[in-house]
Chains A and B, each alone.
Chain A
Amino acid sequence: MMLEALEISKEYKRGDRPFFAVDGVSLSIDKGEFICIVGRSGSGKTTLLNMLTGLLTPDSGKIAFDGVAYDRLGDDELSLLRNTRLGYIMQGRGVLRNFTVLQNTILPRALFKRAEDPEAKAISLLDRVGIRHLADQLPARLSGGELRRVSIARALLSTPDLLIADEPTGDLDEETAAEILSLFRSVAEEGTGVLMVTHDLDATSLADRTLVMQSGRLRERA
């Protein structure tokens, strides 16, 4: 198993009353697997993904990537893992307003330098998500769907082992959404694991498995 979560929980307080946003969730994803998570708003999906990417520490339970537990990794190693092996497409607009589309796309390489020039790859990814012509634009000039696609291209830049996406097709039209989904499908076929939160029922038909999140608990869809 590439990513494995065991009985992870996260407790938040609403007013004075504590509640579990994520409540004893276990989950594993393998290379090339395409998993969808569906669930109502507020059911804990984003909280779960934040823990799976190591940005948020669970109150209890264990998460391991390739057999290495997160709680044994320091900030540097966890960051490097996010930078090289995970691609996280966050909910909402994960684009920095001070950088052009192309700069946003190659941002991961500015954080950890690697030998090869990321630009050619970035351009071809922007092409694949259909916004190559916007490469030199600043985010302020882009539509919500275009911004979304910048995050998608960026998440794929390092050819991650695992792509984690939080409602990536939320503000896309049907046709573009279908293109993005088929991109994810082909990425999975090339060996990348895909874990996607979505409300799009068409998407779930492309997935190997679909899980349902409800009040912090995760279960297999019937």
Chain B
Amino acid sequence: MYGRPHFIFSDIAVCNLKRSPFRTAGLISIVALLAFMLFGGSLISCSLFNGADGLAKRLGADILIVPKGYDQKIEGILLRGEPSAFFMDAAWLGKIAHFEGVRAVSPQLLIASLNASCCSMPVQLIGFDQETDFIVEPWIKTALPGRLSDGEIIIGGAISGGAGSKLEFFDREYTVVAKMENTGSGFDASVFMTMESARTAAEDFIARGGNLTLPDNAISALSIMLNEDSSPIGTTKAMNEHFGYGNSGIVVVPAKEIVSNVSGNLRALVTIIVALAAILWLLSILILAIAFSVILNERKREFGILRSLGATRRKLASLVFLESGIVSLFGGIAGVFLSALLILPFRTYIRDTINMPYMQPSVIALIGLTAGSLILSFVAGPIASLISSAKIRKSDIIDVVRDGEL
């Protein structure tokens, strides 16, 4: 009937926190903000790295050739999944195949489907030549038993449906034979089919009033693999010189450059994020330390009373330590939880905003990130309280309470 029967030392800390709700909420918010930023920052960094990594692994071409003026578009397709359609003469295939340093060439036909029945997003249809292909085939081998026939498709990880299901593009049905893993790159929103199927899709589109002119013998892009001893940059230069840069109607893109540019930008970005997180961590420890120190001053009377009742200095110091630990625990959990709630479900939105390949880490990696953020948050409060604890252990100021001090 008179409150809790056993009132122990840790109850003093809990009681103090509960009965000073504003002070406690303020301290918890500081830690929560820290945890929020730590978790959010590391999650976004990780996702960017995963995205770039996925793209690098999938993009087997050293050089891409696209019609003049479309080098930005191919980047959009690869990095951001922004569908395009563009064409050039298939005769380029023969011209390029014999260029010095070229080991393999494979053509692609790119068609954009802006509102497919299957998907909420625009889809990139990619026709590829199974005879010469060296990009698509290697990473679908596991999923695809035999060769792709006309009317059969392989879908990217972000497209709904699985093997055996049917998708419709421009009123024609296609059968899904395999689905790829998510990569975080533009390939996730792509559909792969034979060159013939892609051509049929384009004709269907035009027949339905689509604004597209499809020349005979058209291809959209050429993927080029070089010999071991040829450099992409050098070969790009040589091709530009040979075909006449600016008036050949094509543009030569050193594809690995796209990827390494992304990686380079990313490294800079991640360095900034990590540096910001470290600064934030130190800053919040500093703010907490100042807060604890101010609070200590206003708690002198409380500590003086506890001293008169027989609290050792060590006990008082551990009281401060314990309170800061509890605050950090709640703040850390709240911050990580909020951060996860705000970032995890909105990956598509984040990806569209930062315009880079973005792929959330696996569950195990997520657990690691969570644990790391929590640990850094949990220790922030206790570290910040060390100064106050040391003050309590050393000085006389808290021993004697003067009347009127409140």
Among B3, B6, B12, contact of A102 (Cβ-Cβ < 8 Å): B3
* B:3-41 near A, CB below 8 Å: 3, 5-9, 11-12, 15-16, 18-20
A-contact 0/1 string along B261-292, CB 8 Å cutoff: 00000000000000000000000000000000
| Given known contacts A55-B307, A135-B2, A111 and B315 CB-to-CB distance under 8 angstroms | yes
Say if the beta carbon of B344 comes within 8 Å of chain A. Answer: no
Most buried by A among B11, B302, B309: B309
Among A83, A98, A136, contact of B310 (Cβ-Cβ < 8 Å): A83
Assembled-state Cα–Cα distance A154/B7 (Å)? 14
Among A57, A98, A109, contact of B7 (Cβ-Cβ < 8 Å): A109
The chain A residue with its CB closest to the CB of B311 is A111
Residues of A within 8 A of B2 (CB): 102, 119, 123, 135-136
Say if the beta carbon of B312 comes within 8 Å of chain A. Answer: yes
B145-153, B177-185, B396-404: which lies at the interface: B396-404
B306:A111 contact, CB within 8 angstroms: yes
Assembled-state Cα–Cα distance A60/B309 (Å)? 25
B6:A82 contact, CB within 8 angstroms: no
Assembled-state Cα–Cα distance A98/B305 (Å)? 13
The 7 closest A-B pairs by CB, nearest first: A83-B310, A92-B403, A98-B19, A82-B310, A79-B312, A108-B309, A55-B399
* B:359-406 near A, CB below 8 Å: 396, 399-401, 403-404
Assembled-state Cα–Cα distance A9/B29 (Å)? 48
Residues of A within 8 A of B15 (CB): 98-99, 103
Residues of A within 8 A of B20 (CB): 98
Residues of B within 8 A of A92 (CB): 401, 403-404
Say if the beta carbon of A76 comes within 8 Å of chain B. Answer: yes
* A:105-140 near B, CB below 8 Å: 106-113, 117, 119, 123, 135-136, 138
Assembled-state Cα–Cα distance A197/B404 (Å)? 18
Give me 22 A-to-B residue pairs in the complex whose CB atoms sit less than 8 angstroms apart, sorted by A's number. Answer: A50-B399, A55-B307, A55-B308, A56-B396, A56-B399, A56-B400, A57-B396, A76-B312, A83-B310, A90-B304, A90-B308, A94-B305, A98-B302, A102-B2, A107-B7, A110-B12, A111-B306, A111-B310, A111-B311, A119-B5, A123-B2, A154-B309
Assembled-state Cα–Cα distance A108/B8 (Å)? 10
Minimum CB–CB distance from B269 to chain A (whole Å) comes to 47
| Residues of B that sit less than 8 Å from A by CB | 2-3, 5-9, 11-12, 15-16, 18-20, 302, 304-315, 396, 399-401, 403-404
| Given known contacts A98-B19, A98-B20, A135-B2, A106 and B7 CB-to-CB distance under 8 angstroms | yes
B309:A98 contact, CB within 8 angstroms: no
Residues of B within 8 A of A84 (CB): 310
B314:A108 contact, CB within 8 angstroms: no
Say if the beta carbon of A96 comes within 8 Å of chain B. Answer: yes
Among A79, A94, A96, A117, contact of B5 (Cβ-Cβ < 8 Å): A117
Say if the beta carbon of A69 comes within 8 Å of chain B. Answer: no
Minimum CB–CB distance from A65 to chain B (whole Å) comes to 14
Assembled-state Cα–Cα distance A119/B6 (Å)? 8
Say if the beta carbon of A88 comes within 8 Å of chain B. Answer: yes
A96:B305 contact, CB within 8 angstroms: yes
Residues of A within 8 A of B12 (CB): 99, 107, 110
Extra pairs beyond A99-B12, A110-B7 (5, CB < 8 Å): A56-B400, A84-B310, A90-B304, A92-B403, A92-B404
Residues of B within 8 A of A109 (CB): 7
Residues of B within 8 A of A82 (CB): 307-310
B310:A112 contact, CB within 8 angstroms: yes
